[in-house]
Structure 1
Amino acid sequence: MSTPSGFDELIHPSTRLSVVALLAATEWADFSFIRDSLSLSDSALSKQLHTLEEAGYLEIHKEGGGRKRRTKVRLTSRGRTAFEGHVAALRAIVEGAGPTAAPATPPPDPGQTSDPTTQQHHAEAHR
């Protein structure tokens, strides 16, 4: 199977995909919100943001100074387009791998039976 159009190797790693998905749902997000939402360390998130920023997928804005410094992040239009294309490519992969026939029914649980009379007797025996 060939890789569908729009699949983005830069976005695909799970941490970057999580960052971009989170940012796609908002205009701007605080660094601390992203970090806490994804359970990442400051350094791990900084590295991923830097990679995405270098690719032109997001913009980082720092305001204030010292302990009051806030870092805000947003997807650029290029980043949003790349994310949407990647999601479409992932959907194409999933749909292409889907079953062509009805799924098999799971085997019955050995402790269960479909006969209501047997079920009632089984339940009464355990009382």
Structure 2
Amino acid sequence: MERVVGVGGWFVRASDPEALRAWYRDVLGMELDEYGSWTTEHGPTVFAVFEADSDYLGPRTQQSMMNLRVRDLDAMLAQLRAAGADVDDEVQDMDGVGRFGWVTDPEGTRIELWQPA
């Protein structure tokens, strides 16, 4: 049986694609090539399904949420705040899993940041 072996991409709509690409590059430090290809460190990827009425993903109009691994959550959140990003005040710790924080990109998409344990 064939099976999926990893996440191949995440695609979003934007009213200003160039500006949003620049935000992900300049604020989150995602090095994207001209096609949006991004090489990351190895590690597990989570595919989680939530109830339709869950608020975890952000506004109900947002059908998905990207989770990005970070080395130092506190440093990343401080960097995001310094850049004027919309950063959630809440940080969650999950024993054996890691720490989580959230930021909303300029187009209103909620993104989860994860510092693995």
TM-score above 0.5, yes or no: no
Q: Which has the higher contact order (CA 8 A, sep 6+)?
A: 1
Please give the TM-score of this superposition, normalised by the length of structure 2. 0.28
- The structure number with the bigger radius of gyration is 1
Q: Give 1 or 2: higher helix fraction.
A: 1
